Chain A
Amino acid sequence: MARDTVFGGARKSWKRVSALMRKEFTQLLRDWRTLVMILVAPLLEMFLLAYAVSLTVDHIPTVIADLSLDTRSRDFVNALEISGFFDVDLYVADESEVIRAIDEGRARAGVVIPPDFSVHIERGDAQVLLLLDGSDAFTLQSGYGAALAIAQAQATELMMEKISRRGAFDIGQLPISTSTRILYNPDMDDMTFIIPALAAMLVQVVAVGMTAMSVVREREVGTIEQLLVTPVRPLELIVGKLTPNILIAAIDLACVILFGNLWFGVAFKGDLWLFVWLSLVFIISGLGLGLLVSTVTRTQKEAQQATAVLMLVAMMLSGFIYPRAPMPPLVRAVGNLIPLTYFNNIIRGIVTKGVGLTFIWHDTLVLIGYAILVMLLAALTFKKRLD
């Protein structure tokens, strides 16, 4: 008898959950505008962000004041241009005009070559003045690095030339040279670094936002009261509502990864199934976070804003763009509250490095714990009553 009621209870429970899931799917498919938004927006955002968040800056518009106008100075300007980092589109008379061009935004970098450049080179004390627009950190970094490297290369070349003119015909190489090998990302392609993390972030936006909105909307239009007064249990309501969202988020993630592979050529190096399971954990933690958002917000607008804030924090602090190591401990701790932080390491580990669980077990463990905790918390705070 007792077994009968347990079995009967489970059957009824499953019937309620499946009715809820059918309802959610029907509504989702009927609201095709939102569906298209959910499925297409991440792809669109990926294209925009992937191109916008290019971390190295090249083709910096550059202004030149060449006060020598001899072969040496022209060689140097040529070298700048050939490097691809600088686009020389403006020649002016002196330093003050270079500064004005940068002030006016016509150029972001300026080069001043002093008079008698070749004479100074022969004497070995030639100097080139490089002016960079410091208001843009990425331009500054790239431009500085590039100009330094170009000047050094030129200097080395000139030195060799000078030595060979003095009669030492075969001096070979410079005594020390560095040989660098970039692991996992040999072409130093930003995309390899950005796309996996971008995929994770976009999916988190969808998971959190969609869940928060769908619950808050039901509360706002009043359908939740009509549901609460049926025999539906809170946990059944959560499972019924979240299952379609898991599917949507998973489709999103697959699309973004696939497009990253086909369009941006980001190779998928690791174990696909491991990735699938961990993604599922990640998505569930996002849904739990969305539920929590829905319990603290009252209107769809509030839910939207809370989601936006969460995403901003995720973008800045999860290590998506900015490395987490130099952050002050408190700021890093805030980043620890976001599942994306752990999943970033996991997705970069699996997709970019192709490593297995042995290398990412720590983040995996934390992520699983996070998912369980956030779901538990959401289920507990999910309002069984209206007050």
Chain B
Amino acid sequence: MSDDIAICTQDLVKRFRTLRGMVTAVNGVTLQVRRGETYGLIGPDGAGKTTTTRVILGLLKRTAGESSVLGYDSMRNTYEIRERVGYIAQQFALPADLTVQENMRFFADIQDVSAEEQQRRIPELLEFAGLTHFTKRLAGRLSGGMKKKLALACSLVHEPQVVLLDEPTLGVDPVSRREFWNLLGNLRAEKGLTIFVCTPYMDEAERCSRVGLMYQGRLIAHDSPKMIKRLVPGRLLEFTPSNFVPARQIVTGMEGVLEVQTYGVMLHLFVDDVARRRQEIAGALAAQGITCVGMREIEPRMEEAFISLIRRQSDQSHGV
């Protein structure tokens, strides 16, 4: 394995024994995260993102395949990994009845950070997370966004080379989310930190240098966000019909319309040829007395690409 790989899995499989038999949560995932990049593992709830992360960290036993962090095997060298990575669990919880400062000290002690180093790092990290004025506040009394920032600060106190964040902005307001991601951006730029993040949010996926798309335990695509968006055939047309339900029925199955997605009161159509189909669609709808407002071509975003890729995957697996 080359030195610039931070996280690596090879045909990783994880099955759970449940009351209704075996469930395959992770089904042959192969991925590589390079040092210094921000890798986003994206996918709907239940896709297997959390399980993959936990297996990589050695929190769960893998059923088959390989997984390693910084060259250390997830199962055999668990403690070497744990001294070198930071992690924020999805249902993360720092002891709520300890103050911000006590939490920082606790995790620093656990990670064997010397007293002198703590004197230097803890104020620095609190400053960086914007928590300097809250050192004496109990962790349980912080706002959702501040809790996440404290968790991030705690997970960085031993200066790890890699951090794994499992849906770190779940239940956080949009402003705090933006702040959190700005922190991550700074970390990557300043310290060359490798960031592995699971998220269901597509806007967060756009901020990653590379993403892996997970669906039903499989990695169905992995590339840069730009390349992922190119995987979707056709171009994207957006408009607001005056009568939504019949309009959707009419355009679905029209020649040249590859895919129909709904977006609020708008329809998003993937078409093979924008100039040509635009006229045909407007005409077909007008014939039924439906008018179209603001019809235009837009750049596909991760969201459209994601839905399209998942649909194709699900069609394949159902043999359609």
Contacts and interface: CB of A to CB of B under 8 A. Distances in A.
B98 A26 contact: yes
A231 B97 contact: no
Contacts of A30: 97-98
B92 A387 contact: no
B109 A16 contact: yes
B89 interface: yes
Contacts of A22: 106, 109
Given A23-B98, A27-B95, A229 B59 contact: yes
Interface string A1-43: 0000000000010011011101100110011000000000000
B122 to A, nearest CB: 14
Contact of B89 (A12, A15, A226, A233): A226
A18 B58 CA distance: 25
**Residue with the highest number of chain B CB atoms closer than 10 Å, among A22, A229, A232:** A229
Contact of B112 (A15, A221, A385): A15
Contacts of B97: 26-27, 30-31
Contacts of A232: 110
B94 A229 contact: no
Looking at A223, A230, A385, A386, the one whose CB has the most chain B CB atoms below 10 A away is A230
Contacts of A231: 79, 82-83, 110-112
**Among A31, A225, A228: residue with most chain B CB under 10 A:** A225
Contacts of B96: 221
Given A26-B102, A386-B54, A229 B82 contact: yes
A222 B16 contact: no
Contacts of B54: 386
B209 to A, nearest CB: 24
Interface string A370-385: 0000000000000001
B316 interface: no
Nearest to A229: B87
B93 A226 contact: yes
B110 A16 contact: yes
A140 B303 CA distance: 80
Contacts of B61: 385, 387
A294 to B, nearest CB: 17
Contacts of B60: 385-387
Interface in B207-254: none
Contacts of B94: 223, 226
B57 A19 contact: no
- How big is the B interface, by class? 20 to 34
Contacts of A31: 97
Contacts of A387: 16, 60-61
Nearest to B106: A23
B201 interface: no
B95 A386 contact: no
B279 interface: no
B89 A230 contact: no
A385 B102 CA distance: 26
A230 B110 contact: yes
Nearest to B87: A229
A385 B93 contact: no
A257 to B, nearest CB: 31
Interface in B80-114: 82-83, 85, 87-89, 91-98, 102, 106-107, 109-112
Interface string B41-61: 000000000000010011111
A222 B109 contact: no
Contacts of B89: 222, 225-226, 229
B59 A223 contact: no
A226 B152 CA distance: 12
A26 B109 CA distance: 15
Nearest to B95: A223
B83 A228 contact: no
Nearest to A16: B110
A27 B95 CA distance: 8
B110 A229 contact: no
A283 to B, nearest CB: 24
Interface in A210-254: 221-223, 225-233
Contacts of B112: 12, 15-16, 231
A227 B111 CA distance: 11
Given A16-B110, A26-B102, A387-B61, A223 B82 contact: no
A69 B30 CA distance: 102
A240 to B, nearest CB: 10
Contacts of A18: 109
B91 to A, nearest CB: 4
A148 to B, nearest CB: 61
Contact of A228 (B59, B88, B93, B151): B59
B107 A222 contact: no
A37 to B, nearest CB: 16
What 6 A-B pairs have minimum CB-CB distances, sorted nearest first? A19-B109, A222-B93, A222-B91, A225-B89, A229-B87, A223-B93
Interface of B: 16, 54, 57-61, 79, 82-83, 85, 87-89, 91-98, 102, 106-107, 109-112, 151
14 contacts: A15-B109, A23-B98, A23-B102, A23-B106, A26-B102, A223-B93, A226-B89, A226-B93, A229-B85, A231-B82, A231-B112, A385-B61, A387-B16, A387-B60
